[in-house]
Structure 1
Amino acid sequence: IFFTMAMEKQYSIRDTHTRSITAVGYNPLRREIVLGFEDGVVKSWEAESGKLLQTFYEHKGWVTDFLFWTDAKVMLSSANDAQIVVWSSGSVADTINMAVPIYCMAINPRRHQLVCGVNGGVRVYALDKDKDSGHYIKNRVLHFSKEHKDIVRCILCHESRVYSAGYDQRLVIYDSSYSRNNSLAPVLNNIIHDAGIACMVLAKHNENNIWLLTGSFDKTL
C-alpha cells in the first residue's frame, strides 16, 4: 500500500507475487518501489502509477533488505543466499558473494563502510564507489562484532553511532568514532524486549532529541 506524505492512501498493489513480501525499498533516482519476496524474486513498480516495470531472478533465497546508496546512485539488495546485488539503471550492475546470509544493511557515511547484520553479530565492509577492486563492495571483513546471539534484523547508522537489534531481544549501540581501525566499540548491550526485535527506526523528535523506536514480536514498542 502506497501513502502520500499527508498519509492519504494513494493506491494498493494486490497480487504482487505468488510468495510473501519480505523486503520493501524505494529508489529515489528512478522513482520506483521495489519489493523482494521469500523465493528470491525482486520486482519494481513505477511509484506514481503503480505500474509493474520489471521482474528479476538474481537472488536464490529470501530477500531480506534494500538500501539506496546515494553517493554511488545504486540500489543494493541482500538475501539469505549470501549475495548482495547492486542495481543501476534498471539492471544488475554487480553481484558480490558475502559468504554468509545478510539480514540487514546500513551505510556508515563517515567511514565509507557498509555495515551488515548477520547471524551472531555485525560485519563491516569497505565500500568502493569507483569499483577499483572490481566490485562496489570489498567482501573482505574489516571487523566482526559478536555482541549478538542470534540474527541481527535491524541496523542503523547516525553520526558516530551504530545501532543494531535482533532476534536475541538485544539492542546494541556502538561508537564508531575511533578512526585508527575499523572496530565498533560497544557502549550499550541490553535485552530490551521479551521477544525478537523485528524493526527499528530513528526519529528526530526536536532539535535536541532523537528517538530510537523498536518493535518486537512481543507486541510492544
Structure 2
Amino acid sequence: MNSGAPGTLAVGRVKFFGRHHGEVNSSAFSPDGRRLLTASEDGCVYGWETQSGRLLWRLSGHAGPVKFCRFSPDGRLFATTSCDCTIRLWDVAETKCLHVLKACSLSNPVSAGHQRSVETVSFSPDSKQLASGGWDKRVKLWEVQSGQMLRHLGDHRDSIQSSDFAPGSDSLATGSWDSTICIWDLRMGTPVIFHQELEGHSGNISCLCYSASGLLASGSWDKTIHIWKPSTRSLLVQLKGHVTWVKSIAFSPDASQLASAGYSHMVKVWDCNTGKCIETLKGVLDVAHACAFTPDGKLLVSGAADQARREVHRSIKPPRASRI
C-alpha cells in the first residue's frame, strides 16, 4: 500500500470484479465492508468478497436490467430495483428473495406499486422501511418485514432517479429530472404529507446522498455537485470540475470528502469544506457508472460500462471530522 500526505487519497492496488455480462448500474458495500453488491444490466445482482474479489453469488429473478442495489443498515437484507417495475428484497444469509414489491392493481396506481422502471431504493436507518422512486414520478414507502406499501408520499414532475433517508429517519430526500430535490417530512401522518423543495441545479438531478452528520449532496446533469444543509435549506458548497453530467456520488464516512463519478473515465474526490478537487482518478475503465466508499473509508470502488469491471482504489487517508 502506498503512503501519502495526510488528508490525501493514495491509489494503490487496483482490483477488477469482471464477471458481469452487462454494464454495472449501481454498487453498494455491506455495513461491515466485507461484501460488495453490484447491480447489472444483464438482469442479475452480484455479491463479492471485498478483500479477495471472489464472487459469492449471482442472483437472477428480475425480468429486466437491475438498476439499483442497496444493503439494509443492519446488514441482513439488500434491495434491488429493475426495469421490470419491481423491487426485490433479499435475505443476505440465505441469498434468497423474501418479497417482490410490485403493482397490485392497475386501476389504482397511487395505492399500488410502481407502473414503470424503478430507479432508486433506500432503507430507513432502522432497516424497517423502504422508499422507492422511478419513471412513474411517484415516491412510495414500504414496510420491509411484510413487503406491504405503507403510503404514497407524492409525485415529482419528472422521473425520480435517486433517494436517501436522513440519518434520523425523520425525513427522506428524493431527486428528480424536474431539477428539484424534495425533502419529505416522515413525521407527518397520512394523508397530510409535508415536503420542501431545494432548488438551485439547472439540470436533472441524477444522484444524491446524506452524510452521517446530516448534510445532503446532490449531483446533476448541469455538471455540478451541491452540498446542502437541509434543516436551513441552505447551499453550503458547490463543486465544479466535471466536464460531463454527474452519475454517482458518495460521502466518506467522516463526511470530509466526497467521491463523484461523471459520465466519463474519471472519478473525482473533493474536499467538502473547501469545495476543491483533491484527486482525479483516471483508471483504465470505460464510462464510470458508480462510486462508493467502504464504511471505514479505506477503499473507494468505481464501476464501469466495459462489461462492468470494478476498480478499487486503496486509500490511507486518516479520518478527520468535517468542519462544515
TM-score higher than 0.5: yes
Q: What displacement does 1:39 show?
A: 2.6
Distance in 2 between residues matched to 1:9 and 1:19, nearest whole Å? 27
Q: What displacement does 1:29 show?
A: 6.1
With 163-172 and 86-95 compared, the bigger mean Cα shift is at 86-95
Tell me if the contact between 2:30 and 2:75 (Cα under 8 Å) persists in the aligned partners: no
Tell me if the contact between 1:83 and 1:97 (Cα under 8 Å) persists in the aligned partners: yes
Tell me if the contact between 1:76 and 1:84 (Cα under 8 Å) persists in the aligned partners: yes
- The residue aligned with 2:142 is 125
CA gap 1:14/1:142 in 2 versus in 1, 3 angstroms: closer
SS in 2 for 1:50: coil
Tell me if the contact between 2:23 and 2:40 (Cα under 8 Å) persists in the aligned partners: yes
- Mapped pair 1:58 → 2:61: yes
Rg (Cα) greater in structure:
2
Distance in 1 between residues matched to 2:54 and 2:25, nearest whole Å? 20
Distance in 2 between residues matched to 1:202 and 1:8, nearest whole Å? 25
Normalized per residue, the structure richer in strand is 1
- Mapped pair 1:184 → 2:218: no
CA gap 1:111/1:174 in 2 versus in 1, 3 angstroms: farther
Distance in 1 between residues matched to 2:20 and 2:75, nearest whole Å? 30
Distance in 1 between residues matched to 2:126 and 2:14, nearest whole Å? 37
- The residue aligned with 1:93 is 97
Identity of aligned residues (%): 21
Q: What displacement does 1:66 show?
A: 1.6
SS in 1 for 2:197: strand
Distance in 2 between residues matched to 1:111 and 1:29, nearest whole Å? 15
Distance in 1 between residues matched to 2:174 and 2:197, nearest whole Å? 10
Q: What displacement does 1:26 show?
A: 2.1
CA gap 1:92/1:29 in 2 versus in 1, 3 angstroms: farther
Could you say what the CA RMSD is over the residues aligned between the two structures, in angstroms? Answer: 2.7
Tell me if the contact between 1:171 and 1:192 (Cα under 8 Å) persists in the aligned partners: no
- The residue aligned with 2:211 is 203
Tell me if the contact between 1:68 and 1:76 (Cα under 8 Å) persists in the aligned partners: yes
With 108-117 and 192-201 compared, the bigger mean Cα shift is at 108-117
* Cα deviation code 1:119-159 (max 9, x no counterpart): 2131112232xxxxxxx411x4522411x111111111112
In structure 1, what residue type is equivalent to 2:139? V
CA gap 1:7/1:82 in 2 versus in 1, 3 angstroms: farther
* Cα deviation code 1:57-76 (max 9, x no counterpart): 21122212222224571111
Distance in 1 between residues matched to 2:212 and 2:10, nearest whole Å? 18
Gaps of 5+ in 1: 1-5, 129-135
Distance in 2 between residues matched to 1:157 and 1:182, nearest whole Å? 20
- Mapped pair 1:107 → 2:116: no
The TM-score with structure 1 as length reference comes to: 0.78
